[in-house]
Amino acid sequence: MKVGIVGLGLIGGSIALKLKDLFDNLTIYGYDIDHESISYTIKNKIIDAKYDEDLLNELDYIFLAIPVESIKKQLQNYLDKISEKTLIIDLGSTKFQISNSVKDHKKRKNYLAAHPIAGTEFSGPGSASKDLFKNKVMILCDTKKTDSNLLLNAKKIIESIGMIIKIMDSKEHDRQIAYVSHLSHISSFMLGKTVMDKEDDEQAIYNMAGSGFESTVRLAKSSPEMWSSIFVENKKNIIESLDEYISNINNFKKLIEKSDKKTLNNEMRRINGIKEILNGIK
Amino acid sequence: MKVGIVGLGLIGGSIALKLKDLFDNLTIYGYDIDHESISYTIKNKIIDAKYDEDLLNELDYIFLAIPVESIKKQLQNYLDKISEKTLIIDLGSTKFQISNSVKDHKKRKNYLAAHPIAGTEFSGPGSASKDLFKNKVMILCDTKKTDSNLLLNAKKIIESIGMIIKIMDSKEHDRQIAYVSHLSHISSFMLGKTVMDKEDDEQAIYNMAGSGFESTVRLAKSSPEMWSSIFVENKKNIIESLDEYISNINNFKKLIEKSDKKTLNNEMRRINGIKEILNGIK
């Protein structure tokens, strides 16, 4: 099997490591705009060689693990050049605009829109791990537009790296992921900003920060380039979620102003229910 | 040594467990408005017996590990009744109003205002652990108002349970903790609320929630009674922090609306600096 991986960061690097772990007869060609990531991944045997456009025809799979805006810019170009047997899988955190941008492409069936619900706040191939995807969900979108044999084989690979497949419409995916993932990142970045702006004395933050703050602000360590691209790409849904978030905070603030403990308690007791949701459905 | 612990939740229970672990010649009397917590802690040998007001005179230490509003209500009553040798230590998350409420009490020197920067999103004595305080910070406030010998002995006990002592003015403590702790809890509760209100399909949250959402929403599992009390008690500082948080979100939203990736990147790159702050000061 020959695989191309474009983008050798946390996601691209982790896929390479896991595929290497699973398959013997496999060659991985990798590319990244950061040349150091290419040398690092070759040196550490994460990939076998640098990807070259001449190889395109020979590849079974091409994974696009680059910022969503770059995916949108390059997907058409890759589709133009690949052979009939190749499947391109993009791994971006937004799906509708990417999927929609090639909806009329004559090789649309050679493309699969995917979103692995896996990641950490760290970036770069040095953070990659072969276990990143273990027991995590892989959302596949608009799968009816992908060739059924190519899809079947892709599903086998995705399952072999330990993932659980869920199928969604790309528009619905973007609407929901704005709430469950993108909003968390903004709330965390803005928490970090508010605290840093206030505390000119960094030692004070360090002394007073408990594990609660650390956990809530963890996502503020995430890659700016990756996330600015997502925020702009999924702008409409994210702004809707932000408006609801701000409105909820304003209402909660009013309850605090009125010292209305009874309603505060009722509100928080209901929100405590997130515990059961996260444990799986009751 | 005889110790009274009022409030047998996560904090009170953990102190009891750690003291039991350290000292042989020790009797712990405990009290909680929840009778089940008293029976649970006696049955599990976390405390030795139920606290009774007749014992007040014999105690070396009384720890108040109850919601901050209850501390404010009961502290004066305890101070009225204790002997000269007893030290009352309150462990609430706000400090100024509590400390201020007894500032003219004739036994003010028998009181120490403390805040352990330790806790989890779980509550109740079943969540208690003797290692909860290990290497965590204990903030002591307005220490000049505490009798120097009683303070010295208290510091020894606090250090013996593994904590690092920091000294602060109570007003300053409340101003800063609103940002570093209380704001995190509200941002997390409101994230939980926004997602739960939107997603009538709980399975969808479960499928799409990655470790990022889980981490950011963790504090939304916290005890409503404890936190409504803190929010109302530290209202002024919390509202100030919420106003700044909302203003930061609104500005960030405008950058997304304008697709201003350059400024979004610069902003997030600066906020990434929270990583170094949390690792300790560079």
**What is the number of other CB atoms lying within 10 angstroms of the CB of residue A156?**
9
Is the pLDDT at A203 greater than 80, yes or no? no
- SS3 assignment, position A168: strand
pLDDT at A236 over 90: yes
List chain B residues with CB under 8 Å of A181: 208-210, 212-213
Q: Please, which residues have CB within 8 angstroms of residue B99's CB and are 6 or more apart in sequence?
A: B111, B113, B141, B142, B145, B170
Look at chain B and count its residues.
282
| A217:B184 CB<8 A | yes
Q: How many CB pairs under 8 A join A and B?
A: 294
Contact with chain B for residue A25, Cβ under 8 A: no
| CB of A192 closer than 8 Å to CB of B274 | yes
**Residue of A215, A247, A276 for testing the chain B interface, max B β-carbons within 10 Å:** A215
Whether residue A137 and residue B216 make contact (CB cut-off 8 A), yes or no, is: no
What is the structure's pLDDT at A282? Answer: 44
CB atoms closer than 10 angstroms to residue B200: 8
SS3 A175: helix
Nearest by CB to residue A187, choosing from B216, B264, B267, is B216
Residue of A nearest to B219 (CA): A212
Secondary-structure breakdown of chain A: helix, strand, coil percentages, each rounded to the nearest 5: 60, 15, 30
CB contact under 8 A, B184 and A211: no
CA distance B167 to chain A (A): 10
Phi, psi values for residue B4, rounded to 5°: -105, 135
Average pLDDT, chain A: 94
- A207 interfaces chain B, CB cutoff of 8 Å: yes
Read off the pLDDT of residues A109-162 as tens digits, 9 standing for 90 and up. 999 999 999 988 888 999 999 999 999 999 999 999 999 999 999 999 999 999
Q: Residue B281: pLDDT band by 50, 70, 90 thresholds?
A: low
Structure tokens that stand for B167 in this block: 């000294």
| Chain centre to alpha carbon of residue B94 | 8
Average pLDDT over residues A193-209: 84
Pair of tokens at residue B87: 């030290």
Put simply, the chain B residues between 236 and 255 with a CB less than 8 A from any chain A CB are: 238-239, 241-246, 248-250, 252-253
Q: Which residue in A93, A132, A138, A253 has the most chain B C-beta atoms within 10 A of its own C-beta, making it the best mutation to test that interface?
A: A253
Provide the 3-class DSSP secondary structure of residue A40.
helix
The architecture in CATH of the region B2-169 reads: 3-Layer(aba) Sandwich (3.40)
User: Is the separation of the CB atoms in B82 and B59 below 8 Å?
Assistant: yes
- B140-178 pLDDT, tens digit per residue, is 999 999 999 999 999 999 999 999 999 999 999 999 999
Cα distance between residue B197 and residue A277, in whole Å? 13
Angle subtended at Cα A174 by Cα A172 and Cα A179, rounded to the nearest 5 degrees: 100
DSSP type of residue B181: I
CA A178 to chain centre: 12
Structure token digits, residue A65: 């693990």
For residue B185, what pLDDT is reported?
96
Domain boundaries, chain B: 2-169, 173-278
For B229-256, how does the pLDDT look when each residue is reduced to its tens digit (9 = 90+)?
999 999 999 999 999 999 999 999 999 9
Q: Compare all CA atoms of chain B with the CA of A173 and give the residue at the minimum distance.
A: B208
What ipTM score was computed for the predicted complex, to two decimals? 0.90
Q: Which helix (H) or strand (E) holds A105?
A: none
Q: Quick one: average pLDDT of B15-41?
A: 96
pLDDT tens digits along A24-42? 999 999 999 999 999 999 9
Nearest CA in chain A to B133: A210
SS3 A281: coil
- Portion of chain B with pLDDT greater than 90, in percent: 88
- Fold agreement between B2-169 and B173-278: no
* A230-247 average pLDDT score: 97
CA–CA distance, A10 with B63 (Å, rounded to integer) = 47
The pTM score is 0.90
**Is A208's CB within 8 Å of B180's CB?**
yes
| Bridge partners, A131 (sequence order) | none
Q: Report residue A130: phi and psi, to 5°.
A: -70, -15
pLDDT in tens, B170-206: 999 999 999 999 999 999 999 999 999 987 777 778 7
Contacts of B209 in chain A (CB under 8 A): 117, 180-181, 278
- Segments of B82-241 assigned E as strands: 87-90, 111-116, 137-141, 164-168
Tokens encoding B73 = 């209500």
Contact A138, A115 (CB under 8 A): yes
Query: In the β-sheet with B164-168, what is the strand arrangement from edge to edge?
Result: B49-50, B27-31, B2-6, B61-64, B87-90, B111-116, B137-141, B164-168
The yes/no answer on whether domain A173-278 falls in CATH 3.40.50.300 is no
- Judged by CB atoms closer than 8 Å, whether chains meet at A274 and B239 is answered as no
Determine whether the interchain pair B207/A166 forms a contact, defined as Cβ–Cβ distance below 8 Å: yes
- What are A74's two structure tokens? 């390059």
For the stretch A261-264, contacts whose Cβ atoms lie closer than 8 Å and that sit 24 or more positions apart, written own/partner, are A261/B228, A261/B229, A261/B232, A264/B224, A264/B227, A264/B228, A264/B231, A264/B232
Which amino acid would we find at residue A225?
A: E
- Residue A211: list chain B partners with CB under 8 A: 119-120
Q: In this complex, is the C-beta atom of A228 within 8 Å of any C-beta atom belonging to chain B?
A: yes
Spell out the residues 6+ positions from residue A82 whose beta carbon is closer than 8 angstroms to its own. Answer: A56, A57, A59, A62, A88, A107, A110
Question: Counting beta carbons within 10 angstroms of the beta carbon of residue A257, is it exposed (0 to 12), middle (13 to 18) or buried (19 or more)?
Answer: middle
CA atoms of B282 and B273, how far apart (whole Å): 10
> B122 and chain A: CB distance < 8 Å anywhere?
no
The bridge status of strand A111-116 relative to strand A137-141 is antiparallel
Asked if B222 has any chain A CB less than 8 Å from its own CB, the reply is yes
Among partner residues A190, A207, A278, which is closest to B214 by beta-carbon distance?
A: A278
- List the single best residue of B70, B180, B244 to mutate versus A (max A Cβ within 10 A): B180
Closest CA to A115 of A168, A69, A159: A168
Residue with tokens 């000294």: B167
- Residue B281 CB partners (closer than 8 Å, separation 6+): A202, A203, A206
Contacts of B34 (CB under 8 A, 6+ apart): B8
Q: Where does the pLDDT of residue A281 fall: very low under 50, low under 70, confident under 90, or very high at 90 and above?
A: low
CB contact under 8 Å between B181 and A242, yes or no, is no
Share of chain A above pLDDT 90, in %: 88
Instruction: Map tokens 């995917």 to a residue.
Output: A114
Residues of A in contact with B185 (CB under 8 A): 212
Chain B contacts in chain A segment 137-166 (CB below 8 A)? 137, 139, 166
